[in-house]
A = this chain, B = another copy of it.
Amino acid sequence: VSFTAARHTERLTKRVFVPRPTRVVQVGLGHIGQAVARLINQKHDLALVGGVDVDADLVGRDLGDVLGLADPLGVKVSSDLTGLIKLLEPDVAVVCTSSMLDDIAQQLRDCITAGINVVSTCEQLAHRSPMNGELWELLDMAARDANVSVLGTGVNPGFIMDSLPLYATAVSQRIDRMHLHRMLDASKRRLALQRKIGAGNTVERFHQLTKSGTLGHIGLMESTYMIADRLGWRFDEVETVLEPHIAQDVVNTPYLTVEPGQTTGVRHVIRGIRDGEACLTMELDMRVDAVESFDSIAIEGIPSLNLVFRGGIHGDVATRAITVNSIPRLATAPPGLLTMADIPIVHALDAV
């Protein structure tokens, strides 16, 4: 076969393919959801066709108006996900409504029933774990039966403390230990985040918050299990530490003041223990008095690897991006509940 003949054949056999933008509905128009929707609207191959929220202040308003766009989008925010899907026939729903799988389960079922693929920032959807295993299996079966792909993503969980370190091990002949450390300087982050990490409390109040389950990072356990699952690590024990960072001096942020002796943030550590030794250490420090942000990945083995994101990765900015950048991957993904370790590598998308 000569080159010319072969190229000619290809022209004849390849279907003419006119790409059309992927039609996306944004579910959840809170802080993250709105930012995600604005970014979808900026991307060349994506079309933002609708928005869903339960907030009575938003329902009925033009979506472009809610997002602060220059022009209206010509579609009103709806509180009825199933109705909107029927009306708009989107390709993908992006669900940014809660960190807990329980909370979004009905939204996922609505999308699955309607045959619509889903990308979600729900932290507990990042990977199966002992906390979400039963519900995960039910939703996974439903998605497979309906030939629908459902992807949990985000920067943490979803990237910096799970799928990216996993991809770093692509060059590993052998791994003895892995130590991930995310140091997040929250001093310039929004107030909601500063509150979430427990900044500005007495130590006593911090421990009350810890006990009531409102402190600590949702998703760190899911990241732990993504790594362990993929590397075939079975832990004898999984150890969790939640403790406060405490101010030495007064710490001022644009939103709050922390007195000496009060808490500046949270230290959340998960250790996967095997044969009496931590082979996986997940260390997450989020504090308003950090010297700098960084993300580090240290792998002991053959070869040993030492990877550092200098200056860290801005969680909000990055989560919006990876959520939107993941959307095109769903078109060719297998059905079921998927993680960032199940799909071809996601990368930045072209702007409009």
Contact = CB atoms under 8 A, between A and B. Distances in A.
A231 B350 contact: yes
A6 B159 CA distance: 31
A317 interface: yes
A271 to B, nearest CB: 19
7 contacts: A170-B346, A171-B313, A172-B325, A173-B348, A230-B347, A307-B307, A307-B310
Contacts of A348: 169-170, 172-175, 231, 301
Q: Chain copies in the assembly?
A: 2
A331 interface: no
A303 interface: yes
Contact of A307 (B304, B308, B321, B325): B308
A55 interface: no
Contact of A134 (B3, B134, B306, B307): B3
A306 B317 contact: no
Interface stretch (A75-83, A115-123, A236-244, A337-345): A337-345
A332 B322 CA distance: 24
A303 B155 CA distance: 12
Contacts of A318: 171, 303
Closest 10 CB pairs of A and B: A171-B318, A169-B348, A172-B348, A170-B346, A232-B350, A306-B310, A166-B347, A173-B321, A167-B345, A169-B347
Contact of A159 (B137, B170, B313): B170
B347 A344 contact: no
A256 interface: no
Contacts of A1: 138
Contacts of A344: 341-345
A320 to B, nearest CB: 7
